[in-house]
């Protein structure tokens, strides 16, 4: 018979070209890659032995009969295994190799492989697939069944991808279905025209399609830097996690590229980054992954010394300047390690842990490796959640403002109050201000938060008929970011004007941390607001930032002693002396004192004795919602009688 075997030769060439393209690029040593290469090897084997079988059948008198059997057996085995391996490959790509479906398919594949192997192996004796009679090649009674098995495998491929649409994109879906359908058509054509050896050629073309769709190495490469990308990183750690294999991720972030970008341009910045990556790939072993921006990572087996050695090399390299356009550039690097599964148990948790560790390294200005812990990661995740909650609260203006009464010793009344912002979430519940305010400052939301709080304070003072309640003024906290806005005084006065609030009813609090910044803008804002009738208080005095010059230079009227100063003086004689001298110094400057953290009658008595003008604390009332505060003020005289007057009378 005159077989047309030229298609087989073309199939071999196509598979060799695809293999060359595959190995010319970086590729992940994964099971799917091994199966992909196995498919190519099986197509080459089937094509090669198909050609050899044509020659041997045309010269059957020259080749021993046993050799003809072996040649044809190898062809049929490699041809049918191609579609079985392709089916297994698709199960892996679509992640259907897991779970109940995967177990069932594994059993079916095992049965099919056993059937193929046995049917082909016993052919010389049972004439199952083919046999020779009078030196003529003939089909056995299972010949058609063997092709039917290929049909079943291809049909299984179509079913698998159609039921896995969430795992693959439309391009992959179309490609895999096309491969299966064209292969079925090619097999049917060859069954009808036996002399047209078309099947392997079609398989090689589909192998080429597979390379450029499902298996394209470019999907896992950063083409500009010629290293693996974050997709490859996630795939590698998922593979290791599935195998329950412990590993360590060493991640690092490069600082200074943005400066180069601004100074020399984007091209120079990209060139510098490429130089850094090239030096790392030359100086270090193992695969380097580009996560995002200037962040990179390596993956090591747990308890190996590679992570430590890589970290030491990186520290050594970044001490030396890099060069771009003949200009020496010094870059800074932050590093952290993440252990699986102690710190993170999934790809998402690992990425979160990396962000947590690198952020911690930047916050601590550390040049050593930060060992990420589960606690620090959870803290980082909580910060991210709170940041999201803050954005929602700003958008919906859902912050609450509570008021804490302040007792005036001279007025013998609760003539002042401090406005305190509160944030609640359905899942996290109450979020303390000292937790969410720093986050609001970091992500740039503090201006909006401050605006919302001040609007709500003014709205309350307008609606509560404050003067009738005996409220002379309310203290409102200002953040550092607010105070550094040049037009802050105009903005705050416009809000007060909108609600018709007298300027002298607002006392603005700022913390002593402002002594560390250029306070020209702050002074200007203070002067403008004070000229209008507002007052200012320095908050948290005595917490470690105490600066007498600050009290002298800035036009404060009030000083708020931090609760830590009050509490320390309660049981410590030396702390009491410090409190007495501090209070005397403040009074000598002509300033009034508000003592925070008053929790007992004895503390109130002590603070009055050292010259404090105002008392604030849980002894009188915790911060309460507006409605409760109004009710408290209506019964203020009774509170003063119970807490102070009656007890003072008993002492006298």
Residue 47: its H or E element:
helix 31-58
pLDDT of residue 22: 85
Q: How many Cα neighbours within 13 Å face the side chain of 539? A: 17
pLDDT of residue 628: 94
Give the separation between CA 284 and CA 296, rounded to whole angstroms: 13
The region that residue 376 occupies, defined by phi over 0 for left and psi between -120 and 50 for alpha, beta otherwise, is: alpha
Strand pairing class (506-511; 473-477): parallel
Is-cis flag, bond preceding 341, omega within 30?
Answer: yes
Give the separation between CA 169 and CA 43, rounded to whole angstroms: 26
pLDDT of residue 53: 87
Structural domains in the chain, sorted by start: 6-215 (1.20.1070), 219-372 (3.30.70.270), 395-651 (3.20.20.450)
Cβ burial of 119 (10 Å; 0-12, 13-18, 19+) is: buried
pLDDT in tens, 390-418: 999 999 999 999 999 999 999 999 999 99
pLDDT of residue 526: 93
3-class SS at 32? helix
Which residue, among 192, 80, 57, has the nearest Cα to 129 in the 3D structure?
A: 80
Inter-CA distances, 644 with 90, 407, 532, 647, Å: 80, 11, 35, 5
Residues 6+ apart with CB under 8 A from 174: none
Q: Is the pTM of this model over 0.85?
A: no
3-class SS at 399? coil
pLDDT of residue 215: 67
Mean pLDDT of successive 10-residue stretches along the chain, which has 652 residues: 76 91 78 87 92 82 85 90 86 77 85 91 90 82 83 80 69 72 75 72 82 73 88 87 88 88 83 90 90 92 86 91 85 92 87 90 87 86 89 93 95 94 91 90 89 95 81 92 90 95 94 62 92 93 69 90 90 91 93 94 93 95 94 92 84 64
The DSSP annotation for 102-163 comes to: HHHHHHHHHHHHHHHHHHHHTHHHH-SSEEEETTEEEE-TTHHHHHHHHHHHHHHHHHHHHT
Give the separation between CA 564 and CA 560, rounded to whole angstroms: 11
Task: Using CA atoms of 308, 310, 312, 317 in order, give the dihedral in degrees to the nearest 10.
Answer: -170
Residues 6+ apart with CB under 8 A from 188: none
- Any idea which residue has 């503090």 for tokens? 446
3-class SS at 408? strand
Q: How many Cα neighbours within 13 Å face the side chain of 246? A: 7
């Amino acid at each position: 018979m005159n077989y047309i075997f030229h298609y087989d030769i073309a199939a071999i060439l196509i598979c060799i070209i695809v293999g060359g393209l595959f190995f010319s690029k970086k590729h992940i040593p994964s099971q799917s890659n091994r199966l992909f290469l196995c498919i190519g090897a099986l197509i080459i084997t089937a094509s090669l032995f198909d050609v050899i079988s044509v020659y041997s059948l045309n010269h059957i008198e020259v080749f021993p009969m046993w050799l003809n059997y072996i040649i044809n057996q190898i062809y049929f085995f490699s041809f049918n295994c191609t579609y079985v391996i392709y089916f297994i490959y698709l199960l892996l790509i679509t992640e259907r190799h897991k779970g109940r479906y995967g177990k069932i398919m594994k059993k079916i594949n095992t049965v099919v492989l056993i059937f193929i192997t046995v049917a082909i192996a016993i052919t010389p004796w049972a004439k199952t697939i083919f046999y020779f009679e009078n030196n003529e090649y003939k089909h056995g009674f299972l010949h058609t069944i063997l092709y039917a098995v290929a049909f079943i495998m291809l049909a299984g491929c179509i079913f698998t991808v159609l039921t896995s649409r969430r795992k693959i994109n439309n391009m992959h879906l179309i490609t895999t279905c096309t491969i299966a359908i064209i292969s079925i058509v090619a097999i049917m054509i060859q069954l009808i025209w036996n002399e047209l050896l078309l099947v392997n050629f079609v398989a090689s073309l589909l192998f080429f399609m597979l390379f450029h769709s499902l298996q394209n190495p470019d999907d896992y490469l950063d083409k500009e830097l010629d290293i693996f990308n974050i997709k490859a990183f996630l795939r590698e750690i998922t593979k290791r996690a599935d195998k329950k294999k412990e590993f360590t991720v060493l991640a690092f972030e490069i600082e200074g590229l943005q400066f180069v970008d601004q100074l020399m341009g984007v091209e120079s910045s990209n060139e510098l980054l490429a130089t850094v990556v090239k030096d790392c790939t030359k100086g270090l072993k193992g695969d380097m992954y580009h996560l995002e921006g200037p962040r990179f990572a390596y993956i090591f087996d747990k308890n190996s010394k590679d992570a430590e050695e890589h970290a030491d090399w990186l520290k050594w390299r970044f001490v030396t300047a890099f060069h771009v356009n003949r200009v020496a550039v010094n870059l800074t690097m932050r590093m952290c390690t993440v252990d699986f599964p102690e710190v993170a148990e999934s790809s998402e948790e690992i990425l979160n842990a990396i962000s947590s560790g690198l952020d911690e390294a930047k916050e601590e200005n550390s040049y050593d490796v930060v060992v990420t812990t589960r606690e620090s990661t959870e803290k980082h995740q909580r910060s991210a959640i709170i940041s999201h909650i803050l954005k929602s609260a700003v958008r919906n203006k859902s912050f609450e403002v509570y008021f804490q009464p302040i007792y005036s010793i001279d007025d013998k009344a609760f003539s002042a109050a401090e406005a305190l912002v509160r944030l609640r979430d359905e899942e996290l519940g109450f979020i303390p201000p000292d937790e969410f305010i720093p986050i609001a400052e970091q992500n740039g939301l503090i201006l909006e938060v401050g605006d919302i709080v001040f609007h709500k304070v003014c709205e309350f003072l307008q609606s509560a008929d404050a003067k009738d309640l005996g409220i002379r003024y309310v203290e409102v906290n200002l953040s550092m970011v607010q105070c550094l806005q040049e037009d802050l005084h105009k903005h705050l006065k416009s809000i007060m004007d909108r609600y018709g609030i007298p300027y002298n009813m607002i006392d603005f609090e700022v913390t002593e941390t402002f002594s560390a910044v250029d306070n020209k803008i702050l002074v200007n804002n203070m002067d403008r607001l004070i000229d209008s009738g507002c007052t200012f208080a320095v908050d948290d005095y005595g917490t470690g930032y105490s600066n007498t010059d600050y009290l002298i230079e800035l036009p404060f009227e009030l000083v708020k002693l931090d609760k830590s100063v009050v509490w320390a003086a309660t049981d410590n004689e030396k702390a009491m002396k410090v409190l007495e001298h501090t209070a005397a110094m403040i009074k000598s400057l002509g300033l009034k004192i508000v003592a925070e953290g008053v929790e007992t009658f004895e503390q109130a008595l002590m603070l009055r004795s050292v010259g404090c003008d105002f008392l604030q604390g849980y002894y009188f009332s915790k911060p309460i919602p507006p409605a409760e505060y109004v009710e408290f003020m209506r019964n203020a005289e009774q509170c003063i009688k119970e807490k102070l007057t009656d007890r003072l009378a008993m002492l006298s």
